Amino acid sequence: MRASVIQFEPGASKADNIAALRPLIEAAIDADRPDLISLPEMWSCLGAGRATKLAEAEALPPEPPGAAYAFLRDTARRHHILVHGGSIGERVGDTLFNTSLLFGPDGAELARYRKIHLFDVTTPTGQGYRESSLFGAGDNIAVGRTATHGLGLAICYDIRFPELFLALRRAGAEVIFVPAAFTSETGRDHWEILLRARAIETQCWIIAAATTGTHHDAAGKPRTTWGHSMIIDPWGHIRAALEDAPGHASADLDFSYLAGVREKMPVLEHRRLA
């Protein structure tokens, strides 16, 4: 299975973001012929305040699908590939969720996950983030299934909670997606090392598509995200990576290699404390 991560610089307009994503996806498909593409966190509306986020968010099926959902579904169907939709804003009444979606090659939804761990943090430079003031928290893990593989869903700040990744491994995940809008301040020190640690611990392929560039919060303050999207193998090796510019990177996911890693070092069988 060949996978591609798509990295770009989204803003607050869903229509503009779809227009920016479309040629990046087409370029990745034309160049690398992937079986799977993965997008970043909150690519449909990054930045702005609650009113804009609520306006750009979508009710998900069984309600009639919105533009972002239809774009992801139709991309999967048109190219006959798996599409991991990073995450988009989901609207349930007046409540927002940061929600990840996975679609099969026929456009059918395979999995849906609401971000569990919300980013309420002050970074080393003093910038404050309060994701819980905008979004509700999910309470269930999600593993989408193809005929042959389990694909687990996580989002950004989840990467700091290894128990979630262990739960995904136990639920049958062989690939775990980690779409992100990781801050530059934390990304510089923690992004790569946390992703590689989760890959090594779970013995899964990690696919981490990220936003890059600068967006603006509700007060107009600039927020810069780290980029550096990457694909990591079950031994912790980086198989494909980007730096901080929009684009794509691709790698072949070798599941026989994954099986060999798990057979030679059966860490799940050896666990004693959890």
* pLDDT computed for residue 220 by the predictor: 86
Give residue-wise pLDDT tens across range 90-108: 999 999 999 999 999 999 9
Q: Considering the chain, what percentage of its residues have pLDDT values greater than 90?
A: 95
What is the reported pLDDT for 228? Answer: 98
The residue written with tokens 């779809």 in the block is 18
* Distance from C-alpha of 273 to C-alpha of 166, rounded to nearest angstrom: 12
Predicted confidence at residue 274, as pLDDT, reads: 72
Cβ neighbours for 175, distance < 8 A, ≥ 6 positions apart: 3, 149, 150, 151, 152, 204, 205, 206, 207, 253
User: Does pLDDT of 124 surpass 90?
Assistant: no
- The 10s digit of each residue's pLDDT in 144-202 is 999 999 999 999 999 999 999 999 999 999 999 999 999 999 999 999 999 999 999 99
Q: Categorize the per-residue pLDDT at 208 as very low, low, confident or very high, splitting at 50, 70 and 90.
A: very high
pLDDT tens-digit map of 220-252? 889 999 999 999 999 999 999 999 999 999 999
Whether the CB-CB separation of 46 and 53 falls below 8 Å is answered with no
203 vs 251: CA distance, rounded Å: 17
pLDDT, mean of residues 259-267: 97
Query: Chain-wide mean pLDDT for the chain?
Result: 97
**H/E/C letters for each residue in 94-142?**
CEEEEEEEEECCCCCEEEEEECCCCCEEECCCCCEEEHHHCCECCCCCC
Task: Domain 2-270: give its CATH code.
Answer: 3.60.110.10
pLDDT band at 219 (very low <50, low <70, confident <90, very high): confident
Active site residues: 41, 115, 156
Q: Where are the domains of the chain?
A: 2-270
Tell me how far the alpha carbon of residue 32 is from its chain's centroid: 20
pLDDT at 218 over 90: no
Structure confidence at residue 125 (pLDDT): 83
Average pLDDT over residues 33-61: 97
